[in-house]
Copies of this chain bind each other. A is one copy, B any other.
Amino acid sequence: MSLYSHFFYAEEVIELLSEKQAISDMLRVESALAEAQATSGLLEPSLAEIISSCCKVEKIDIELLKKEISLGGNAAIPLVKQLTKLVKIQNFEASKYVHFGATSQDIIDTATVLGIKSYTDWLEGKIKELIACLVSISQKHRNTPMVGRTLLQQAKPITFGLKTAGWLSALLESQEHLSQLKSRVLKIQLSGAVGAGNASITKKVQVSAAEILGLRATSSWQSLRGSLVEWSSFLGILSGNLGKIAKDISLLMQTEVAEVFEGAAEGKGGSSTMPHKRNPVGCAAILANANRVPALVSTMLSNMMQEHERSAGLWHAEWETLLDLMLLTGGSLVKTVDLIKNLEVDEKRMASNLELTKGLIYAENVSLSLAKKTGKMQAHETVEKACKLSIKTNRHLKEVIAEMDLEIENLEELFKAENSIGNSLEIIDAIISKSYENEI
């Protein structure tokens, strides 16, 4: 993560998911556990208060903790050790109730979920911001004709707003999925050593701790990881949606296409020896992230077959994988917001690119118009002939058709992009209107 942290990632996300925050979240779980047990009459509230008062990340020797992870194989064991010492100094009796009846995975999994919760809060806001940007650009370019391309070939006209509204529709889908999966993912892990609960981890304690932490109470998922994998695949899809945007923009930035550009910034994407270059540097980061994320999702998936009540290795493989998934997706999201906000659109170039095929992209228009008079078959043949002539003589199809004396009214109109954008405007409006619904 180090050298390229500013390139692939976003500072605000790095902070959200820092190792200090992870330890802090584990301490929040220990604190909530003690409080919940006090509520259930399992220990004196005053003792729970003492435990909670020691659950401060500032009091933890993080370097020591990291060194000791190798012994027990997870971060909770050395953390509980340090926490118990801290509490013992305050009150010997209270120290007996630290981590009372819990297991390491209870603490680590619940802390992971707390991290996801903070991240989700951030993510929802940032997705909204991106949606707003996409609504805005779709409105602005609702009527800007450009060529639609399939299999990398010019096909027929659309408007640039239709393209951006498509991106928007994908984001709206991600937004909807996120709102649904939250209830599956944001749940407590608190069921003791083998997931069966015990005298100190009762249903009541579990519910109470879940309430304190703002999570849902549920049975053990120590070796049932579907919800974390759904979360991962959601991030994968979101990254893919962002990658799709960056892919289109990087292609549109090609020297030979040159229809849109990343916003210019001093020193950004340029080259002193190649003054004509406008490198898609932001796109490159988003694309790189989108190309790394799918494999991380597959790691989460292939790690689902966790043995018995806790796995030897597959659980451990999740820790950094989940972190990387959130860091990469978060970085891409921040970068995509910047990209859309500062996007430069060259409407003139879009217009001139529409003329590159010398009218051939309008051939079907002519054919349909002619069909009304001559029938479809005849029309098709005639236009096919005209197209071939146009290509052979390198002349504009409109000229060729005009000379053919076919009595087509409004020939000029058939060769205008704005008359060939189908239902683009209606579709754009519908997608934007859906984005408003989601808002409410």
Contact = CB atoms under 8 A, between A and B. Distances in A.
Interface stretch (A27-35, A288-296, A404-412): A288-296
B66 A6 contact: yes
Interface in A250-273: 250-251, 253-257, 265-269, 272-273
B268 A153 contact: no
Copy count, this protein chain: 4
Given A246-B313, A268-B71, A357 B255 contact: yes
27 contacts: A1-B2, A4-B75, A4-B320, A6-B70, A73-B281, A151-B279, A151-B311, A152-B307, A155-B274, A156-B194, A162-B196, A165-B219, A169-B221, A169-B224, A173-B227, A176-B184, A203-B423, A219-B430, A254-B254, A255-B357, A274-B363, A276-B360, A288-B313, A288-B314, A288-B317, A289-B317, A295-B296
Interface in A1-40: 1-8, 18-19, 22-23
A283 B312 contact: yes
B291 A313 contact: yes
A170 interface: yes
Given A73-B281, A244-B304, A255-B356, 11 more contacts: A68-B267, A72-B268, A96-B377, A150-B193, A155-B193, A158-B195, A162-B196, A163-B309, A198-B422, A250-B312, A288-B314
7 closest A-B pairs by CB: A287-B313, A240-B304, A148-B194, A233-B233, A295-B295, A196-B422, A294-B301
User: Number of contact residues on A: which range applies?
Assistant: 35 or more
Nearest to A251: B307
Interface string A173-203: 1101100110010000001111111110111
